[in-house]
Amino acid sequence: MRLLIKALALLVVLGGGIFWWVTAPRPLPASAVAGLTGDAQKGAALFWVGGCASCHAAQGAKGADLLRLGGGRALKTEFGTFYAPNISPDPAQGIGAWTLADFANAMTRGLAPGGKHLYPAFPFASYSHMTLQDVADLHAYLMTLPKVATPSHPHEIAFPFSWRRLIGGWDWLYLRKGWVVQGPLTPEETRGRYLAEGPGHCGECHTPRNPLGAMDTARWLAGAPNPSGKGKIPNITPAHLDWSKDDIVTYIGTGFTPSYDVVGGDMAEVVTNLGHLPKADLAAIAAYLKKVPPRK
């Protein structure tokens, strides 16, 4: 009996050690961003392709208010309700006191300063594909925006999901798993893949998720339930989206469909954001979408 108790105790200790190792935060090495200088002008384009204002500006914000990133928008999920935080340059309530290393860890590793795990409602699984230079450029641009002193709204999440250490296991399973669409790709298609799978995070809305809330890449961009509960986010693989490349460029740049209908719902905000991009980047995204494996 004593031998059995000792064996069970050893298994508990080993299991706890493995759990603690798997779920541990894994920040970037200190040297990762050393010597990087952000270009705010380039960061502005990344701000729009990343749709930062769509979550972090106030609901219904327009014009200059889209640059006031005080947070507060709610995302309701089966795991709880998440609220977009204040990411303005305010040093007390926003991210004004964050270093570039802090920002890079949040964007590419899902870690807040101090190593606290961020919930993947923030699409760091997509942003992890961004180059660190682009991360630095985005950081430089965000630091030029208005400071907003509004405190971030706390998430409404029940145990066990409120235990952030568990997110380390999610990161271990799903973070930085490579590109979904593989080559060979043309330079234009490669650029489109970077924008769509990285900062543009198209898959976060258009891809169904598994029971742990991770994107099901086997059904990449095949459509998903709308978090608002209204309708469905459409399939944008070639199995459903049979528009020409030019049609796609017109739609994501202006909101007009080939049948002269107008974009609606949450996609209207995406079009507003993408409308700030150069046409070459819109063409690259369209070229990429034509290369996505069709999924019915």
CATH number of the domain to which 229 belongs: 1.10.760
**Is residue 43 predicted with pLDDT exceeding 80?**
yes
Buried b (16+ CB within 10 A) or exposed e, 203-236: bbbbbbbeeeebbebebbbbbbeeeeeeeebbbb
Q: 265 and 143: one domain? A: no
Pick the more confident residue, 197 or 225.
197
Q: What is the mean pLDDT of the chain?
A: 91
Identity of residue 116: K
Least confident of 168-172, 177-181, 264-268: 264-268
Q: Which residue among 131, 147, 174 closes a domain? A: 174
The pTM for the full model equals 0.91
Closest CA to 123 of 11, 70, 57, 199: 199
Q: Is the pLDDT of residue 54 over 70?
A: yes
In this structure, are 194 and 287 located in the same domain? yes
CA dist 159 and 222 (Å) reads: 31
258: containing domain: 187-291
> Is the pLDDT at 77 greater than 80, yes or no?
yes
Judged against a pLDDT cut of 80, whether residue 16 lies above it is answered with: no
Q: Are 93 and 150 in contact (CB under 8 A)?
A: yes
Band (pLDDT 50/70/90 cuts) for residue 12 is low
pLDDT score of 279 more than 90? yes
pLDDT higher than threshold 80 for residue 227: no
| Stretch 56-75: mean pLDDT | 89
* Residue 7 CB contacts under 8 Å (≥ 6 apart), including other chains: none
**Is 2 part of a structural domain of the chain?**
no
42 and 168 share one domain: yes
Written as six digits, the tokens of 167 are 């997110």
CA separation for the pair 175, 153 (Å, rounded)? 26
